[in-house]
Amino acid sequence: MASIGKITGVNGNLIRVKFESAVSQNEVAYAKLISKNEAGKTEIIPLKSEVIRIRGDYAELQVFEDTTGLKAGDEVEFTGELLSVELGPGLLTQVFDGLQNPLPKLADECGFFLQRGKYLKALPRDKKWAFTPVAKAGDVVVAGDTLGTVPEGVFSHRIMVPFKLLGKWTVDYITTAGDRVVEDVVAKLKNDKGETVDVTMVQTWPVKMPIKAFEERLRPSKPLTMQQRIIDTFFPVMQGGTFCTPGPFGAGKTVLQQLMSRYADVDIVILAACGERAGEVVETLREFPELIDPRTGKSLMERTLIICNTSSMPVAAREASVYTGVTLAEYYRQMGLNVLLLADSTSRWAQALREMSGRLEEIPGEEAFPAYLESVIASFYERGGVVRLKDGSTGSVTICGSVSPAGGNFEEPVTQATLKVVGAFLGLSRERSDQRRFPAIHPLDSWSKYEGIIDSKKVAQARSILANGVDVNNMMKVVGEEGTSIEDFIVYLKSEYLDAVYLQQDAYNEIDAACSAERQKYVFDKIYTILMTPMTFTEKDVARTFFLKLTQATKDWNRVAFDSQEFKDLESSIFASVKEVSANA
């Protein structure tokens, strides 16, 4: 029997409830709002809530809706279930809110404005899936083992033994191949105690509990190529690794996310828009169905899942949207797939935590964020990683958190807490964005702990050229170009050349927008050779003109197909011009 409570206080989206029988942390409850509809009739609207603190006979709950109209004495019904998501076929191509309500279907039922207290099933109940059994009667299985498969887009979606089942179970019955809806029983399991369980194609799992139905967690060892040269070469990311992209507003985080979504070497992309402005989310929703997936030639949405919780939606649901995203990512990892989770922006999530912590009257930490902010952020990123499944296959979840520090200040608490746990830091720069140098990742402030596709010694030398070029540029701002030696001026021109032709990419050019690992290795080796070539110039104007022409020729080289004759011809032309100014010629 569900526990019943009475509201004793309302503070924004936090309610205090006196309960009668036992309740648990993170349990879902419904606050019953008494309201009158347009016809003047009284109706009860259930507002979904989550228990976040228990003290004696009182529980404090965060409400995932606007609490206007709730008052002391209103009833709250506890469900006895933790905040959970539905897992099963039909997740891909969907757009959910933070509580996994399918937004397109919700819009069809509610109209232009979403209604309070309206909750829908995440998975379509009427769609039929072509089920193919894998297990057979008599097989001994454990949580996470595959019972059968259904096709979902280009993937084979595994129907697995529910993750909540403990110990060993025997397949007592499994259905034959054929079309089934997600609520049809596809298998019956029995354990040694004689307990039986009906298995359907849909299961639920608490969002704040990691899915651990795998054999072993492995160290990330394979580079995750994004086909963005500045990332793959200078600040690489591993499959199953973690990284963050802090940056001020307008520095290009959203565009960079879309590029990574399209070209990253992963099977599934999950976008968790956590508190971002509605305009940016709408742009994503409009553009993703139009983007062509280079791996399949179909719409990128076919392997994408979007969780949308904009800044205009309830603040409490921001936390739920982050955990919903990582739980769905873990689910697809259990199928042996590689998943990229892009959380945008974790700063909004942290602000929601700060707001709730203030209402709970907890002792504040730095800048009024909760004192446990670092541990909460760390526990989220820990849910990424590479795992070996019980059938020997591997899957991975790579987590990228976009951080939006106020004024681009990377010293603020959310950025610093994130930097302590991630493996790579891709810091976006307002200065580079203003100079139209995209991707606007700062090549000197950023770092990565991972090994990339290019020799690290060569990369370190290239970065030293960039750093020396910046030093010379700063010096020229003081003493002028005429006070700079020709040797220093060549160092500056080489750094600008490297920046223009390798760190920057043209997202509007079909070829230059994505640079394969093979091409990056080849091109970097050639450009490295140019950078290491000692050059002789008599005048600075001659040197400047030479590098301007060299930069344009190399940009043209970047825009032609790798295996074409034009590519070879341009390469020959570039090196012929370099040979003319070489000090060793």
Domains of the chain: residue spans and CATH: 4-82 (2.40.30.20), 129-201 (2.40.50.100), 216-448 (3.40.50.300), 456-581 (1.10.1140.10)
Confidence of residue 210 (pLDDT cuts 50, 70, 90): very high
**Mean pLDDT throughout 287-313?**
84
Confidence at residue 281, expressed as pLDDT on a 0 to 100 scale: 76
Q: Is 235 annotated as a binding-site member?
A: no
Q: What is the mean pLDDT of the chain?
A: 93
Lowest mean pLDDT among 135-149, 286-300, 440-454: 286-300
Q: Could you report the per-residue pLDDT of 414-468, keeping only the tens digit for each?
A: 999 999 999 999 999 999 999 999 999 999 999 999 999 999 999 999 999 999 9
**Structure-block tokens of residue 512:** 């230059």
Taking alpha carbons only, the member of 555, 575, 572 closest to residue 229 is: 555
**Mean pLDDT throughout 284-291?**
80
DSSP 121-190: -SS-SS--EEEEE-S-TT-EE-TT-EEEEEEETTEEEEEE--TT--S-EEEEEEPPSEEE-TTS--EEEE
Q: Is 252 annotated as a binding-site member?
A: yes
Distance CA 303, CA 265 (A): 12
CB contact burial 465-501 (16+ within 10 A = b; e otherwise): bbeebeebeeebeeeeeeebeeebbbbbbbbbbbbbb
The answer to whether 26 and 206 are in contact (CB under 8 A) is yes
> Is 312's pLDDT higher than 80?
no
Angle CA 225–230–235, to nearest 5: 70
Q: Is 272 annotated as a binding-site member?
A: no
Q: Is 88 annotated as a binding-site member?
A: no
Taking alpha carbons only, the member of 93, 515, 511, 150 closest to residue 300 is: 93
Q: Is 254 annotated as a binding-site member?
A: yes
Q: Is 148 annotated as a binding-site member?
A: no
Q: Is 460 annotated as a binding-site member?
A: no
Q: Is 250 annotated as a binding-site member?
A: yes
CB contact burial 289-313 (16+ within 10 A = b; e otherwise): eeeebeeeeebbbebbbbbbbbbeb
Confidence at residue 280, expressed as pLDDT on a 0 to 100 scale: 73
Confidence at residue 37, expressed as pLDDT on a 0 to 100 scale: 76
The conformation of residue 223, written as its DSSP 8-state character, comes to B
